[in-house]
Structure 1
């Protein structure tokens, strides 16, 4: 559908919805029940009009499409629930499941192309893979655009897109895996705290903070990291059309955009306008971008704000002493 025509139709639907709501509101709250008072009637009419406009806007958006590109953002640490990252920055990311839902919603709608905006240092392994798979499954061209940072799990996601664009000063790369565990067994001994093992399975408590890490445990945990790294390298090489050894030679370094482009880790360098021009070329028509965001209720916004404050004050420290021990992430 012609973009200008679609926009006019949407505005017409909204206008009709507003007029209808105003008429209903006037009849219900002002014209008939005189006992409510003129002032109260006017207020209720205004409220009814506002509700009518909102409903009409949603109807218009669902019935008349004015976009052909869906933009979905991956920002902050990548995790299943969108909580804090591994560093005390207070940076809370978008839940991976919500990002996947938005990509699928765009694919089910009128979007002919996907623009995946990436500004993330990475995060958990499986949630990153879920977003990557959703991008691969999108029916149409997929372009990833790195803004400030596209590292580790962010680059893993980008490798599932048809093209990766970045700015000259973007931070790109960090193709590696890290497993971490805080060990406080010496401090515990000084405090008179002892570790008693009740576990079934030789490696069940490998990496527990209160237990001294044996060489056998260390080899076992390092083996998991190595296997995840092999998987990461192979998938990136496949998605980017690069040699596996070339990826390994990066040794999980990060690069500025210009260097990443020279190494073939990035397809093109450019601004957001350049990316939209490229999407226009891929679609053979003007690209009209619409942001797809998960709904954010008041309770969610308050909860996530509280998480930022709590973690900034050090509330996340105890999680590193968890009995499960080791955390693996891109």
Structure 2
């Protein structure tokens, strides 16, 4: 039976909508990415100094919180409350406590800001010394001023790395590149199971086996092949298993309930939206506000964040991402249980013709 022109037109319109969603998901974050309430800390000797530093940071889009000591800063970074912090000493020396493993993009941005502050400090000090050096005729005074000027020239930003990627992948490129494999791999795996495995119980066991073996394989490649991770391999693999299970069961559930329609919905959520909105290449707070939050509610973003927290931050901060992924597992399992389709309905297009 030939497809009707009405069906052809409807399909073209539907594909155009998908194309628009895909273009928006990939291009908007790239164009609008920036600092959107990125949480950082600030240690200052007094309120005046704090206010002087905090205001320009807030104006740039940072969510600045005051901390009493560097020990508090380190604890906050380890518990995933902030991405890093600045400390201004009583003598005016600026230090940056960064966590590249939390976000290489944020660490780079903080570094640039810190360098800018130090450059401004040096320029202000030079401007203050210049007229004094020009007016004095006393050799001892001039010598002392020259010494101060030389000291100003040596002033630098002190950078303390709190959480870094391994030397094999210092910028965490392997994790950033993992968003698409996480999204596409789980989707492909679920489709393969739906088509190639016969029997509902067998598909369930196949999804479990895929999550278990796939988690070990995914982290194995990232840790031993690429060198992005250097933490506990098996604990990190458990996180990957949960992420793959979330994707696999969710896709299988949609397929059992909706057939090809469910496959399209899963592709939009996991690949077209989940991949670019994962925040793995920067940070969720560096995406446009709504998009960054949405990305963390989708399996690729939640899985990436879970892996990062387990591998580098001792499991701190995993509650949200773990809850999101387990929700997908449960919802997918429920849909899979109540669904009646044992294979993808390949005749859908013909019945709509």
The TM-score bracket by the shorter chain reads under 0.3
Q: State the TM-score, normalizing by the size of structure 1.
A: 0.27
Instruction: Please identify which structure carries the higher helix content.
Output: 2
